[in-house]
Amino acid sequence: MSFRPALLALLLAAGNALPGTFRVATYNVENYLDQPTDTRSRVKSVEAKAEIRESIRILNPDILALEEMGTTNALLEMRASLKANVQDFPYWEHIESYDTSIHVAVLSKFPIVARRPHTNDLFLLDGKRFQVKRGFVEVDIQVATNFNFTLLAAHLKSHLTTPEADEAEERLSEAKVLRGLIDARLTRNPAANLIVLGDFNDTKDSDTMKMVIGRGKFKLTDTRPAERNGDTAPGEPPYFEPRDVSWTYFYGKTDTYSRIDYILVSPALKLHWLAADTYIPAIPNWGIGSDHRPIVASFTTDMK
Reported as a single tens digit per residue, the pLDDT across 97-119 is 999 999 999 999 999 999 999 99
Nearest to 242 by CA among 199, 204, 195, 211: 204
pTM above 0.85, yes or no: yes
**Max CA distance (Å), the chain:** 59
Identify any residues that bridge with 28 across adjacent strands, giving them in sequence order.
67
Is the pLDDT reported for residue 9 higher than 70?
no
Contact 69, 103 (CB under 8 A): yes
Tell me the percentage of the chain whose pLDDT exceeds 90: 88
Check residue 38 and give its pLDDT: 87
What does pLDDT average to over the chain?
Answer: 93
CA angle 227, 231, 235 (to 5 degrees): 105
Q: Is the peptide bond before 237 cis (omega within 30 degrees of 0)?
A: yes
At residue 274 the predicted structure's pLDDT band, cuts being 50, 70 and 90, is very high
DSSP states along 27-70: EEEEEE-SS--SS--PPPPHHHHHHHHHHHHHH--SEEEEEEE-
Reported as a single tens digit per residue, the pLDDT across 14-34 is 455 667 999 999 999 999 999
Strands 147-155 and 194-199: parallel
Is the pLDDT reported for residue 8 higher than 60?
no
The CATH superfamily of 5-11+22-300 is Endonuclease/exonuclease/phosphatase (3.60.10.10)
Is the pLDDT reported for residue 4 higher than 60?
no
Rounded (to 5) percent helix, strand, coil in the chain: 25, 30, 45
Check residue 238 and give its pLDDT: 82
CB atoms within 10 A of CB 11: 17
Check residue 19 and give its pLDDT: 75
Number of H helices, E strands in the chain: 6, 17
**Residue 163 to residues 39, 102, 123, 158, 260, Cα–Cα distance (Å):** 16, 20, 17, 14, 24
At residue 228 the predicted structure's pLDDT band, cuts being 50, 70 and 90, is very high
Check residue 12 and give its pLDDT: 52
Is the pLDDT reported for residue 249 higher than 80?
yes
Is the pLDDT reported for residue 77 higher than 90?
yes
DSSP states along 12-29: HHTTPPPTTEEEEEEEEE
